[in-house]
A and B are shown apart, each in its own frame.
Chain A
Amino acid sequence: MMAENFDFTPFILSFKLASVTAVLLFVVALPIAWWLSQSRSKMKPVFEALSALPIVLPPSVLGFYILVVFSQSSPVGAFLDEHFHIRFVFSFWGLVVASMLYSFPFMLQPLQSGFESLKREMIEASYISGKGKVTTLFRVALPNIKPSLLTALVVTFAHTIGEFGVVLMVGGSIPGETKVASVAIYEMVEVMDYKNAHIYSAIMIGISFAVLLGVYIFNHRYKRRIGAFGS
């Protein structure tokens, strides 16, 4: 019952956006999560509160400020356009920046709590072995928080796929550039094309469920494997 002229482009765009966001956000959030988990700084709560803001703020607030900062009439937007010919507003890379801000806590928090759950002595044993913070992060800390790592990546990915408000505000709905699946569904409902809206929505539900199921299965297996022996 595939509808005529069924267009996969919004899905491909959604997945591209989610993949790029997850990878870039991992690179950005990893050192911050590591630092927050190890820090005893008095400024830590301030950073934690700041980084959690996107959870509570309406997406429109975030979208509004991204528009304000990156529009051609703002100093930042003008500077980027003039020197690098980059325009973030109504472009794919604008969506990436917006998604990274919007999904930041979903990447940061699982990583940070994963690092915090590690036994302090294990990290200290690495320092005593003569290794610095970076080596310790990549060879000891990260390999021992695989479930948190997977959760962070997948939840960020899924959260970006499911995002709507920020995307609509920052990207608009340019086919093939910024018209992702969630926006496409919104437009179909608006023009009362319920059939295609159903198909798109059903695909979204199916994919999301499969992804989450995969994460839970992996985490259960991992826990069982780690907990199987013990002393």
Chain B
Amino acid sequence: MITIDVAKRLENRENTMLLDVTLQIEEGSFVAVAGESGSGKTTLLRMLAGLERGEGSIKVGSEVWQSERFFLPVQKRSVGFVFQSYALFDNMTVEQNLLYVNKDKKLAKHLLEITGLKSMEKRYPNSLSGGQKQRVALCRAFMRRPKLLLLDEPLSALDPQMRLKLQQDIMRLHREFGTTSIMVSHDPSEIYRLASRVFILKEGRVVQEGTPKEVLLKMQGSQKFSFEGEVLDIFKADVIYIAVVAIGQQIVEVVLGSLEAQRLHVGQKVAVSTKAFAPLIRPLD
């Protein structure tokens, strides 16, 4: 069991906030931390890694990483960290980036093979795409065979296809190494796919926790389908009105009555939902 009970006062230009989090995480599990920006998610990860000091205690299995009088330095913690910005060593090749952590050539080769980077091992980070860089960073994080893998929005800068590939790589390595993984993410589908538990942070506190199904589906209320989007256009077609709404990467048309058309305006944030109908499902490939 990983027991986290930490507190830290966070200050930015506008206000101060107390990050005060108590978490129990089962070893070997994959958990997600979600919440608005500025809710303290990144600080929490940095405190776990030992990059930032705060009050309270952190226990990983039988090891104490932090207590009232003790602070295990970052170098001594069995942690892998994947940053949103990759943070690769630009002066080293892909292979050297991995071997810097640990001279285990066999492990490096294995990791690069799993993630499909074997042919890139002699390349420098500046010649790689974002997705490739993040895969290198992921491999590097596993070179220490970490007990705890911390992922700080690792995929938010990548396109959807690359995300899917990385999600598979993360899951595969997580299982193979038996790591406990904690990922900060904003993407509900990503959380649903990877995590077995999710914690929602708000203003420095855990306001919700549970399985992704419980937490993510509960947010939608009683509707069967509900999507948030933005009105791009409203126009009249014969006797009805049609609104063009952007939902995620998709554009949809919604039929409006004249009253509804008067209440809405272009640029407005809207929820497109429906209650009683039976959706049909068909495979796309």
Contacts and interface: CB of A to CB of B under 8 A. Distances in A.
A140 interface: yes
B88 interface: yes
Name the 9 nearest CB pairs between A and B, nearest first. A121-B87, A143-B91, A129-B101, A125-B87, A229-B126, A121-B83, A127-B74, A229-B127, A231-B130
B187 to A, nearest CB: 20
Contacts of B88: 122, 125
A109 interface: no
Given A121-B85, A229-B127, A231-B129, A128 B49 contact: yes
Contact of A144 (B49, B74, B80, B91): B91
A126 B51 CA distance: 11
Given A124-B51, A124-B81, A231-B130, A130 B87 contact: no
A124 B87 contact: yes
Interface string A139-156: 110011000000000000
Contacts of B101: 129-130
Interface in A205-231: 226, 228-231
Given A130-B75, A144-B89, A231-B128, 8 more contacts: A121-B87, A122-B89, A124-B49, A124-B51, A125-B81, A129-B101, A129-B102, A229-B127
Contacts of A143: 91
Bin the interface of chain A by size: 20 to 34
A124 B102 CA distance: 16
B284 to A, nearest CB: 30
Contacts of A230: 126
Contact of A122 (B49, B87, B102, B130): B87
Bin the interface of chain B by size: 20 to 34
B104 to A, nearest CB: 13
A198 interface: no
A144 B137 CA distance: 18
B80 A140 contact: no
B235 interface: no
A119 interface: yes
Nearest to A142: B91
B90 interface: yes
Contact of A125 (B89, B126, B127): B89
Nearest to B150: A128
5 contacts: A122-B89, A125-B83, A125-B140, A127-B74, A130-B102
A144 B140 CA distance: 19
Contact of A128 (B80, B91, B102, B133): B80
A31 to B, nearest CB: 19
A44 interface: no
A131 B75 contact: yes
Interface string B115-153: 000000000001111100100010011011000000000
Contacts of A130: 75-76, 101-102, 144
B79 interface: yes
